[in-house]
Amino acid sequence: MHMKTALLASDDVHSLAWMQEAIAPLDISVTTCRLADVGPALSAGGIDVVVIDAGRSPEVFTSVVERSASEGCETRLVLLVEREALGNLRLPVRVPSDFMVRGGVAGELAARVRALVWPGEERLSREVLRVEDLTVDLATYQVRIGTQPVEFTYLEYALFVFMLTHPNRVYSREVLLKRVWGTDYLGGARTVDVHVRRVRAKLGPEVARRLETVRNVGYLWRA
């Protein structure tokens, strides 16, 4: 199995440096190019994920990646966009893709790249995560607060870890059902609320405050 390869595209050297630093902890090889060279770079093949500093014109680069996909390129796409571009943002249908608003934290970009490159695995470069006095061992599925174990059910744990590894982005109940429960789940979206309440109760107030409710939208983990 070949090492995964990321193509980072920007005309700004500072943005390129930030993107490289953000995904450096991942087990992934990185190449860079200018925005005008995205199409030729994808045509050359061997790119598992392309991260494009799209600014206010994400539709231009969406079209480039879609055209490459129609020619047989198998890649995934992450767009970095300005907040002003969100109103008209359209992600490609045929290409696994995601986006983040410029100005976000490096960990968010790494999480989005990781989720696209290793779908279903959500790999982290570190096997152990720590939030205040809470420790999550991703290899053994163990959660502790201090020295005390936290006894999650499987779905409570899956929901908690998904939110923890996808910080600073709001997820609707419907999206959480798809990502955590699976596409074949037939229950109502309110089951997410029930599981969130249980997770918060088990985490305790200091850590639980990070799992925020966004009214009429869904939930967010505040890193």
Which pLDDT does position 202 carry in this prediction?
Answer: 94
Mean pLDDT of all residues in 190-217? 93
Domain boundary among 117, 139, 165: 117
Claim to verify: residue 170 and residue 102 sit in the same structural domain:
no
Domain boundary among 61, 92, 117: 117
| Tokens 């405050």 -> residue | 209
Which pLDDT does position 177 carry in this prediction?
Answer: 85
CA distances from 117 to 16, 19, 43, 114, 149 (A): 19, 16, 19, 5, 31
Question: What CATH number is associated with residue 152?
Answer: 1.10.10.10
Claim to verify: residue 112 and residue 133 sit in the same structural domain:
no
| Tokens 């152990």 -> residue | 128
pTM: 0.56
Claim to verify: residue 107 and residue 172 sit in the same structural domain:
no
CA distances from 13 to 16, 18, 58, 211, 217 (A): 5, 9, 19, 35, 36
Claim to verify: residue 48 and residue 14 sit in the same structural domain:
yes
CB-CB contact of 49 with 116 (8 Å): yes
Chain-centroid distance, C-alpha 69: 21
Please give the structure tokens belonging to residue 158: 């899956």
Which pLDDT does position 47 carry in this prediction?
Answer: 92
Whether pLDDT at 42 is above 60: yes
Whether pLDDT at 122 is above 60: no
Query: Considering the domain boundaries, does residue 87 fall inside one?
Result: yes
Q: In what order do the strands lie in the sheet with 142-145?
A: 128-131, 134-137, 142-145, 148-149
Query: Considering the domain boundaries, does residue 122 fall inside one?
Result: no
In degrees rounded to 5, what are phi and psi of residue 163? -65, -40
Claim to verify: residue 9 and residue 53 sit in the same structural domain:
yes
Query: 217's torsion region: left (phi>0), alpha (psi -120 to 50) or beta?
Result: alpha
Q: What pLDDT band is residue 94 in, cutting at 50, 70 and 90?
A: confident
Separation CA 213–CA 207 (nearest Å): 14
First to last CA, the chain: 33
Q: What pLDDT band is residue 158 in, cutting at 50, 70 and 90?
A: confident
Residue 188, domain extent: 128-221
Claim to verify: residue 112 and residue 152 sit in the same structural domain:
no
Claim to verify: residue 104 and residue 147 sit in the same structural domain:
no
Claim to verify: residue 64 and residue 106 sit in the same structural domain:
yes
Question: What CATH number is associated with residue 23?
Answer: 3.40.50.2300
Q: β-pairing, 76-81 with 49-55?
A: parallel
Average pLDDT over the chain reads 86
Between residues 20 and 105, the one the model is more confident about? 20
Q: What pLDDT band is residue 184 in, cutting at 50, 70 and 90?
A: low
